[in-house]
Structure 1
Amino acid sequence: MWIVILSILGTIGVTMGVGILATAPGRQELMDINIAALDFKKLRDGTYIGQYCGTKDHFRDAKVEVTVSSGKVSSIKVLEGKNVYKEGKPIEIRNGLTIEDLNNSVIKEQSLQVDVISGATLTSNAYLKAMENALKQAQTK
């Protein structure tokens, strides 16, 4: 009996270890990512789509739609991303916060230089990079 239990626990441990090792390069990529300090005072009105696609893995790939109205970011909609919505509703990422909280911070601050969701830094960085890529299209010279 104990051998069966220990075998099951060992298998679970090995599986988790392999999963962590397999996603390590993608996690490192997002830890090292730079979010540009775009000038939000130079945005053209319109709707822009941006995405983040990891080069090491695609676990946290994100695609967003950012709307600029009267020169300000007025809405941010997630078009694609894993583990942020279930049945059309935002799900808790960490500590009661959802991706909508990150989006609302960007809208409120009119900046990408906002606090990330504590405990979900990598996911936050992926979405902020997708927003940056959308807003680069809205920049005026």
Structure 2
Amino acid sequence: MTRYGNVQVQITVKDGKITAAEVLQVPWNDRHDQMINSEAVPVYNQEAVAAQSARIDVVSGATYTWDGYTQSLQSAIDQANL
């Protein structure tokens, strides 16, 4: 949960590695949310796969999304026992 809404991340794991990350839920309430998250989410998804962890850089202007994303990503990583 973020200040603006929920963020939920799903990962795909193969042979003990994250092969994909995708957002199932992200704040999309208004044009501001849509503008920020349409740019930030693809970056976060790519960073998650590249980093193989929840230690990813924040996209400027998308700090709340980053906070929710990294928390959900870490939860998914923990559930996958990575």
Normalised to the residue count of structure 1, the TM-score between the two structures is 0.48
2:51 is aligned to 109
Q: Which amino acid aligns with 2:7?
A: A
Aligned to 2:7: 62
Number of matched residues? 78
Q: In the aligned structure 2, how far is the partner of 1:82 from the partner of 1:125? A: 12
Give me the TM-score of the superposition, normalised by structure 2: 0.77
Q: Which runs of 4+ in 1 moved over 4 A?
A: none
Could you give the per-residue CA deviations for residues 18-45 of structure 1, whole angstroms, max 9, x where no partner exists?
Answer: xxxxxxxxxxxxxxxxxxxxxxxxxxxx
Report the equivalent of 1:43: none
Corresponding residue for 1:29? none
Aligned-pair Cα RMSD in Å = 2.4
Give the structure with higher Rg (CA).
Answer: 1
The corresponding residue for 2:71 is 129
For residues 2-41 of structure 1, the aligned pairs below 5 Å read: none
2:23 maps to 78
Deviation at residue 64 of structure 1 after TM alignment: 1.8
Overall identity of the aligned pairs, in %: 28
Shift, 1:70, TM fit: 1.3
Q: Of Structure 1 and Structure 2, which has the larger fraction of its residues in helix?
A: 2
Q: Which has the higher contact order (CA 8 A, sep 6+)?
A: 2
State the partner residue of 1:93.
36
Q: What are structure 2's unaligned runs of at least 5 residues?
A: none
**CA distance in 2: counterparts of 1:78 and 1:97, whole angstroms:** 13
| Structure-2 residue corresponding to 1:120 | 62
